[in-house]
Amino acid sequence: MHIGTFTPEGTWAAAARELPSLAELGVTVLELMPVAEFPGRFGWGYDGVDLFAPTRLYGGPDDMRGFVDRAHALGLAVILDVVYNHLGPSGNFLSRFSPDYFTNRYKNEWGDALNFDGPNCGPVREFFRANAAFWIDEYHLDGLRLDATQQIFDRSTPHIIQEFGQAVRQAARGRGTLLIGENEPQLATMATPVERGGCGLDALWNDDFHHTARVALTGRNEAYYTDYRGTPQELLSAVKHGFLYQGQWYRWQGKRRGLPAHGMPRPAFVTFLQNHDQIANSGRGQRIHALTTPGRFRALTALTLLGPGTPMLFQGQEFAASAPFYYFADHEPDLAAKVETGRAEFLSQFPSLATPAMRAHLTRPQDEETFRRCKLDHAERETHAEVWALHRDLLRLRREDPVFRAQGDGGLDGAVLGQEAFVLRFYGEDGDDRLLLVNLGRDLRLDILPEPLLAPPVARDWTPLWSSEDPRYGGCGIAPLETPDGGWRLPGHAAVVLAGTDVVPDQERGEGNGTSAQETHG
């Protein structure tokens, strides 16, 4: 969530007012986009320069404390997105105190790289370790999300990211904490325990899941989606193995991508259908529900919220918010012009956005109207009640169903059933299994069923538990999956959950003993 656009007022107090609804929905953790002070009237927060000061834009320090206290009272954890890979281009005066804060030994995408391993790096490391601990100690936050860790350069031992984790956990004084990393090259070592040579983060964002889901939802694979097809096999592999690229060749970058993630627990992969970056990178700030069909959106929402990864929603996704989310930043005129040009150049990697017609529709990041159009209208929870109900019921199923609550501890497997259809089987205790059937194409008739994952457990039958086409979610209903001739018919643009339930013994049904049910019951 971005505090400045989460409500029309854009304040901590206004955001706190909406927290009971999120708790009722089933949300458990709030991840705040950066709040460290930065120049200007609005911005995403990734150009922070006063890292120990919450921005004045959302209220005072006590307002932030009040927000966190309100969240905790409702059972919600709060973690903060922090930027330890660069500092903003405007208002950053650290180099006036010492030239050793920065280094030219590494090339940083957004400015001067921070000096974590060069001469006189000790005080620099201490500065950022102290900041990590500060948010936990002073504002009682429950953890951090580290932005773009691939741009945090450190060839020394221990790695500075490992020290961030240690600082957070020490500052928590026994409270549970959560440390999540964004890592574009998908280096699994970031979330490998320290004792096994890793950096000790708890989880990593899974861009591969997002990218293949995005292609499946929209049919487009331009630019950094080039190496994805959105196929059932890709979606299954992302659910089962986390990252799709764990060392294979990656055409878009012309090099290998990722490291093996074998052994990482599945909840260590944060899965999502959209985030602030990806919505803004659509060019027109459109959210994923506006770029696909309602049925596909509901079906992949089910996969995301019921799958074994840790699901993440971007603010407003839970009610299909109509507000776009653009890139916005209020810089002084010269810098603003450079940012606007740079933003257009970045988006030009998408051929569809590089055309003169589309470039004419790109918003100017420095315009206040660009910022204002991103503000949520929470009244849409009522006008879009079907989407809210979809997310509420899926999160309840994840929380309360014994098999989905176990998140694949009993085993998980999957199989492709058709060109756009697949099945996931979650194994429960004593045959109490679940099937999640997803079909992103047209109705699929399975006249023959040579797939063992479709077989019911011993002495059980499959019975419907949940459907994305339930009218409560704006769906159009579905016919029974099993056809009279014993085949199956999977509805198009839909997801269905089946549960293994006990079969009534033949003698109780009056079958197999020469006596009809009518005769047995008089």
Residue type, 75: G
The values of phi and psi at residue 188, to 5°, are -60, -20
Distance of CA 220 to the CA centre of its chain: 20
Distance of CA 272 to the CA centre of its chain: 3
CA distance 285 to 320: 13
The values of phi and psi at residue 47, to 5°, are -110, 35
Residue type, 30: L
Residue type, 215: V
Give the residues across from 204 on adjacent strands.
Answer: 181, 269
**C-alpha radius of gyration, the chain, whole number:** 25
- Crossing angle, helix 207-218 and helix 232-241, to 10 degrees? 160
Residue with tokens 């150009």: 47
Give the residues across from 501 on adjacent strands.
Answer: 461
The values of phi and psi at residue 227, to 5°, are -90, 25
CA distance 265 to 301: 21
Half-sphere exposure of 16 (CA within 13 A, CB side): 17
Distance of CA 338 to the CA centre of its chain: 30
Nearest to 472 by CA among 383, 387, 382: 387
The values of phi and psi at residue 15, to 5°, are -65, -40
CA distance 449 to 439: 16
What residues are labeled active site?
A: 147, 182
Q: Strand ranges (DSSP E) for 74-177?
A: 77-82, 102-108, 111-114, 143-146
Tell me the three state secondary structure of residue 269: strand
Tell me the three state secondary structure of residue 210: helix
